[in-house]
Structure 1
Amino acid sequence: MMTTIAEPHGAGEPDAPPPPDAPTAPEHGHHSDDAVAVASQWQLTWWSFRKHKLAMIGAIVTLGLYLMVIFAGFLAPYAKNFYSPEYTYAPPQQLHVLDDGRFGLYVHPQSAEQDPSTLQLTWTVDESARTDVGLFVKGDEYRMLGFLTLDRHLIGPVDPDGEPVFLLGADKNGHDILSRIIHGSVVSMTIGLVGVAISLVIAIVLGGLSGLLGGLTDTVIQRVIEFLMSLPAIPLWMALAAAVPPTWNPLERYFAIILILSLIGWTGLAREVRGKFMSVREEEYITAATVDGAGRGRLIFRHMLPQFTSHIIAGLSLSIPSMILAETSLSWLGLGLQAPVVSWGVLLQEAQNIRVITTAPWIMIPGLAVVVAVLALNFFGDGLRDAADPYKN
């Protein structure tokens, strides 16, 4: 008689599979089908957006840039009008963080000697002396959020009346480039937001009417869009910017440049809005709202726009970099904003001179700020565009 010995658990044949209706634990980084089924559009978009690493990095950098706009006066070592004429084209100073093995910020002072024949400045560093640098130091007064008068700066010289500190060098007038870059972000980053906001209004009104009404209205609006898109953008920007009267004050010129960029930059977004309106105008809830007597304004803003708000936000985030580049280009050419306004494009005007770039290459650093901002916004916008339709991911 043969005796059957029971095999231990886990040996021999595999365990029977669980019944079909048994709950399963979600995989790492994923959500269960039940959670997806009841999730809102914004939750789905957020879950999808988190998968894009570059988009997350772009979002963090973009948030940091706009925080820099809000706290520009605090973050900048000096006020935007600060200058020291004896430090013309002073090179960047190395910031030392250790003093005899202990934490202590300081730089070595520098001085210039001019060649009498070539007039070229030669800068020398006095390593036997030091200029102490501190955190949360007193300095020039500034207004935060438009009404708070403060004088504390994140970093700067401990003695505000002593030797100045130029961590990223100085320009031809002795302005601190680091401070000017931070103050310039206020104009360069907000000009994109304000310009895109104006473009958004135009795009929603015209694109919405085009997609909702169709027929002759759609034909006329689309022909206008095609005409504007067929014009070369840079020459058109230059022509309109050159038409701005030179007697206008900086604020008037600022809004004139925003209006010029907005009147040209709404076409692409209007086409996206039109396409979305055409895709949802035949839905049953739109028909029901129409039969119920809803007007066109209510149809557009109450029933249709909320269905693709995420797509519009994605389109806006991709439009801001083009606005920033347009302002930078116009200001660099001398047709946009002008001094005393401080923007990244205005700061780059000196970079037109090859000789200056050769002797003081640090004046190109504001261009690095433009590159970082545009790349961050593009990564952020690409991630939002992909996440705006989470059902495809």
Structure 2
Amino acid sequence: MIGLPPPGAPLPHGVSQAPFDPVADQAAEGGKLAEASQLRIMWWKFRRHRIALLSAVFLVLIYLSAIFAEFLAPYGLHSRDTANIYAPPQRVHLFHEGSFVGPFVYGRSMTLDMENLRRVYTEDRSNPQKLRFFCRGDEYLLMGLVPGQRHLVCPPENGTVFLLGTDRLGRDILSRIIHGARISLTIGILGVAMSFVLGIVIGGLAGYYGGWIDAIVQRMIEVLQSIPSIPLWMALAAIMPVTWSPLLVYAGITVILGMLDWTGLARAVRSKLLALREEDYVQAAQILGASPGRIIGRHLVPGFMSHLVASATLTIPGMILGETALSFLGLGLRPPITSWGILLTEARSVNTLALYPWLLFPVIPVTLVILAFNFLGDGLRDAADPLR
């Protein structure tokens, strides 16, 4: 039995001689919180939200893949292989007949099924074809600026690597999904940036001045929110001339999504300003001669900017779904621009989808990105809430 050391004897090395004081420990923790900035406290809270943290990492990787799409995609955006039209996905293997070969796919042959009028692809198990990495492939311009020819993954010599299959023109679906991420993801960010500005300006004026300005803004918001979103988007998208270039259509869709999705943010700003405009520091700023714009922009909005960021994060999925829906219906972006919504137009026919179900693979990144943004928004909202 190990006993306690006698009074006055030194304690073993590494053992603190300070008495345990839970009150002092709590005071130390409180001192850290008192000295920490608002952003640091938000980060501490957000870090405990595991799903939101994983969602943030996933979204960072997705946006990085959109930036380096040309390097990550095995094929070019418009590369066609007429010998592999509607080819099913190929599986990646590591072992062949019990021996380790490395990442490879099996070669395959194609025959025509004249009874069902379809192509039938058969794997050749005796012909393993190793994948190549960091190799030369289709030429490209990274972000439309830097010429290059290197790809992360390349097809085998005299072979193919269609991990998600091909479409009716023999184009690799995986490569087109990676390229389409750039349009679908950026249109959500740009649309939210526009709605963020409109929501702060219009909601700020309504909340600060009140009266007839607030009444007009509230009626306008109620009218916009009473109209179903999809028909309104369709009507505005149909107004755009068919002679517009793809870049103008992209800008037009971004403006439409941004101008119609600011209402929720404007109401949040209005409610906050109605509560804060009577505070003493606001009246002190008015007495000192500060303009309304300075009071709103420098004193009121920064006080709840964290809530606005969380609200904006929850708005981005709606933007992405709006672009996907418009493009799927043929009223949004048009080729040669490629987005996830345009890729899904290949799956509009039930008969085609029954024969080639891999054409629905673009739904997977749309679903994952929207879920990630929702989880991230929930985590930011909880971190910005001072009562949690």
Correspondences of 1:266-285 after superposition (within 5 Å): 266-285=262-281
Determine the structure 1 residue equivalent to 2:50.
53
For residue 344 of structure 1, report the CA deviation from its aligned partner: 0.4
Determine the structure 1 residue equivalent to 2:40.
43
Q: TM-score, normalization: structure 1?
A: 0.90
- Measured against aligned partners, the alpha-carbon deviations of 1:113-138 in whole angstroms (never above 9, x if no partner) come to 11234322111111222332122111
1: CA distance between counterparts of 2:41 and 2:101? 46
Q: Aligned match of 2:67 in 52, 70, 75?
A: 70
Determine the structure 2 residue equivalent to 1:151.
149
2: CA distance between counterparts of 1:312 and 1:141? 42
Which amino acid in the other structure matches residue 303 of structure 1?
Answer: H
Does residue 256 of the first structure (1) align with residue 255 of the second (2)? no
Q: TM-score, normalization: structure 2?
A: 0.91
2: CA distance between counterparts of 1:62 and 1:175? 26
Secondary structure of the structure 2 residue equivalent to 1:83: coil
Determine the structure 2 residue equivalent to 1:95.
92
1: CA distance between counterparts of 2:289 and 2:76? 58
Determine the structure 2 residue equivalent to 1:14.
none
2: CA distance between counterparts of 1:82 and 1:25? 63
Change (3 A) 1:19 1:224: same
Determine the structure 2 residue equivalent to 1:24.
25
Correspondences of 1:157-172 after superposition (within 5 Å): 157-159=155-157, 162-172=158-168
For residue 193 of structure 1, report the CA deviation from its aligned partner: 0.3
1:138–1:158 Cα contact (<8 Å) kept: no
Secondary structure of the structure 1 residue equivalent to 2:48: coil
Where structure 1 has 5 or more consecutive residues not aligned to the other structure, the ranges are: 1-7, 11-17
Does residue 119 of the first structure (1) align with residue 117 of the second (2)? yes
Determine the structure 2 residue equivalent to 1:237.
233
Q: Aligned match of 2:134 in 136, 142, 148?
A: 136
1:137–1:158 Cα contact (<8 Å) kept: no
Identity of aligned residues (%): 46
Determine the structure 2 residue equivalent to 1:13.
none
Determine the structure 1 residue equivalent to 2:331.
335
1: CA distance between counterparts of 2:375 and 2:316? 12
2: CA distance between counterparts of 1:98 and 1:238? 51
Secondary structure of the structure 2 residue equivalent to 1:129: strand
2: CA distance between counterparts of 1:110 and 1:251? 40
Determine the structure 1 residue equivalent to 2:13.
none
Root-mean-square deviation over aligned CA pairs: 2.1
2: CA distance between counterparts of 1:338 and 1:144? 21
Does residue 186 of the first structure (1) align with residue 182 of the second (2)? yes
Secondary structure of the structure 1 residue equivalent to 2:167: coil
Does residue 368 of the first structure (1) align with residue 364 of the second (2)? yes
Change (3 A) 1:362 1:19: closer
- Measured against aligned partners, the alpha-carbon deviations of 1:288-321 in whole angstroms (never above 9, x if no partner) come to 1111111122112212221111111101110000
Structure 1 stretches of 4+ with a deviation exceeding 4 A read 18-22
Does residue 316 of the first structure (1) align with residue 312 of the second (2)? yes
For residue 44 of structure 1, report the CA deviation from its aligned partner: 1.1
For residue 379 of structure 1, report the CA deviation from its aligned partner: 0.3
For residue 287 of structure 1, report the CA deviation from its aligned partner: 1.5
1:137–1:157 Cα contact (<8 Å) kept: no
1:332–1:346 Cα contact (<8 Å) kept: yes
Change (3 A) 1:164 1:158: closer
For residue 158 of structure 1, report the CA deviation from its aligned partner: 4.4
2: CA distance between counterparts of 1:308 and 1:240? 33
Does residue 357 of the first structure (1) align with residue 353 of the second (2)? yes
2: CA distance between counterparts of 1:94 and 1:233? 40
2: CA distance between counterparts of 1:304 and 1:25? 33
Determine the structure 2 residue equivalent to 1:246.
242
2: CA distance between counterparts of 1:325 and 1:134? 36
Q: Which moved more, 1:230-239 or 1:95-104?
A: 95-104
Does residue 392 of the first structure (1) align with residue 384 of the second (2)? no
- Measured against aligned partners, the alpha-carbon deviations of 1:152-209 in whole angstroms (never above 9, x if no partner) come to 11112243xx322101110111110110000000000000000011111111110010
1:185–1:344 Cα contact (<8 Å) kept: yes
Q: Aligned match of 1:222 in 218, 221, 241?
A: 218
2: CA distance between counterparts of 1:340 and 1:127? 37
Change (3 A) 1:113 1:273: same
Secondary structure of the structure 2 residue equivalent to 1:127: strand
Secondary structure of the structure 1 residue equivalent to 2:322: helix
Equivalent residue pairs, number: 374
Secondary structure of the structure 2 residue equivalent to 1:340: coil
- Measured against aligned partners, the alpha-carbon deviations of 1:89-124 in whole angstroms (never above 9, x if no partner) come to 100011123466445222112222112343221111
Q: Which moved more, 1:306-315 or 1:113-122?
A: 113-122
Does residue 306 of the first structure (1) align with residue 302 of the second (2)? yes
1: CA distance between counterparts of 2:29 and 2:312? 31
1:348–1:367 Cα contact (<8 Å) kept: yes
